[in-house]
Structure 1
Amino acid sequence: MKQAMLKTGASTLVPIEQRPFVAAARRSALRPVRPEMSADAYINRIATVVPEHEVHQFYLRFAASMLAANRRRIFERMAGLAGIESRYSCFAPALDPEGAYVDRAGTFVRGAFPGTAARMAMFCEAAPVLAKKGVDGLQLGNEASRITHLIVTTCTGFSAPGIDLDLVRSCGLSDSVERTMIGFMGCYAAVNALKLARHIVRSDPQSRVLLVNIELCTLHLRETTELEKLLSFCLWGDGCAAALVTAEPSGIKLDSFHCAVADERRDLMRWDIRDHGFDMVLSGQVPAAIHDALLSNQHAFLGGRPTEAIDLWAVHPGGRSILDAVERALNLAPAALKPSREVLRRYGNMSSATVMFAMQEMLKAPPGLLGCGMSFGPGLTAETMLFRTVS
């Protein structure tokens, strides 16, 4: 049998099988996959953490102090309907919410709140600490050196070198780990991170992907007398979620993803970088827009299934009115969104980390259940996914 040959620059014929890059490719193709691996991707573990400083009532009183008496009563009534009992911040509040300083360190001075540069310096100091606590919660131990990919999502602070390299150093990851930063996508970034992790694991079942969603939303506190902006800020808290995604069939199997963008309503939710921090615009029309988007795309994101076929719902609790809109649009029973409402009650809206707090509850469910996760953010964008509990 004739050997296939290649002609080199020196006119020497070399068998293809002896070419180094071909031999390596064939060895890789023939390398057996470990029996416990599959072509699917699974969330094996999720760990969540919040900072030590509980600030919800403090911030409500601070916000109310900026309003005239008649508007203060409106604010207090509406804030009381938010379904939030506690939120946490990396930054210790001052003793008096109506005093000259808002934080104990004296950085947020009434009438002279810090600029974006100072806030980014605070992010660079606090975010890596909280992110490491999140990863430590996974209890990776010796597994840390086996992590092949690191994906970090955040929309509340930026620097380079950033959190990804901080985590490589502090968590014992390999210097050669493949790092991806997903920045400024807002609350739905965690779903995009899971989507990317699924692609990675399905393309190489040996991959072990570490996801970290880290947000310091309270860093962007602003002074304003605009009622809508004050109510919007009273949703936000700081938090971190870490997850391990591999081909090992345990935990939650990631089935499919779907994205819907209501471009004609893109200005209802925005997150802009200004001179004095990041400015969140969250219109009161957002719940209605999400309601309409879900009605229009229900067949696509549920894969043609009726809502009755879904056993578990992990919905990003962007606010009580948003959860109410999801419940109405999909005609869900009140108990369906209990995990999301509980996350909102205990932690508020932590942007990209929040839906992972709800997903952590899904890991406690018995195997064989079909679930739907979704998050909403600037665009106006809805990122959804279907998943199944395995163990």
Structure 2
Amino acid sequence: MNKFFITSAFLTGVITSTFAQTTDTTTTSAPTQAPTIATPASGLTLSGYIEAYYSHDFTAPKTAQERPGFLYNHKRNREVNINLAFVKAAYTSERVRGNLAIQVGTYPQYNYAAEQDLVKNIFEANAGVKLSKTRDLWLDAGIFSSHIGFESAISKDCWTLTRSILAENSPYYLSGAKLTYNTSNGKWTLLGSVLNGWQRITKLPGYSGPSFSTQVQYRPSSKLTLNWSSFLGSDRPDSLKQGRFFNNFYAIINPAGKFGVTLGFDIGSDRKPIVSGDRRVGNGSYVWYSPVVIARLATSDRSYLAGRIEYYDDKNGVIIGTGTPNGFQTWGYSLNYDYKILPNALFRIEGRVFDSKDAIFEAKNNSVSRTNTSLTTSLAISF
């Protein structure tokens, strides 16, 4: 199957003033490079992050104010807006740590829509204690960034401006308690957690049990990170008896080099629901999966080019419902350019195309289209 696209456009006049971000001390995954295990300096630090953006959807009608429903970042169409901005206080000592970050922007507006109003503006809020004097073993509890996947909501830490389809449709945040162990040589991270659910701060009504998640990460050198994360639980009421088992795999190759590659693969399954008494729709489970390849090239000490090819198959509509005969079976292609204006200021521009098996994208003249083309730019500043 040959796929080809050309996207070109012109944008001027994005001006912002900002806050920015420091590393979440409870996070162990590494979206851009393999982490080093080090004891952070003690004390309280304040930081912030802000990302302004403009997205132009060439396929949608001029009156369409939102990008397609399966996207949660850079969601607003044809308007300058803030994707994510937060201020963060982080406290660290030898045996205690804690983080509190308050957020605004269109990302929390859409991704936290199902949460109670009181917690929609919490990017993270967690407390941790080191359980061993001699081992890097921590117990953290609260709301924290998800360890599932190689991308986060903080765009500047990701290789592409927009998030991959698999990242947009798996947890960005989790709430519960987790136990994290890093080996003394910095090569292994092991994590186990008990959670309120699949990207849930407040439990889903009708779901009684906890969910569980794990992470195994191996970093044999600074040039390679291998990761397997899993989720076991449900995102459905108990009455449907739909258990969910989800796996995320990725490899980050040569992240700090001139040329790097990220390979990712998600696969999940929900057991088919009970529709009457103990009778199920059918035997087995509904399965969805998504592979993605991202390649990045440093064109100078201040600039990068990155390209992405991805596919998402959810024909049964478990995660992304379409109401069409073939469900969501969609290819994605993107190309972006990054320029570091200052050490803490990043300008980015990205062209992106989706190509679906069914016509699922809103188009001009009250029609629908199998393809969708867009251009997004952003300016992110951190301190």
TM-score (norm 1): 0.22
User: Which structure has more strand as a fraction of its residues?
Assistant: 2
By percentage of residues, which structure has more helix?
Answer: 1
With CA pairs under 8 Å and 6+ residues apart, which has the higher RCO, 1 or 2? Answer: 1
Superposition TM-score, scaled by structure 2 size: 0.23
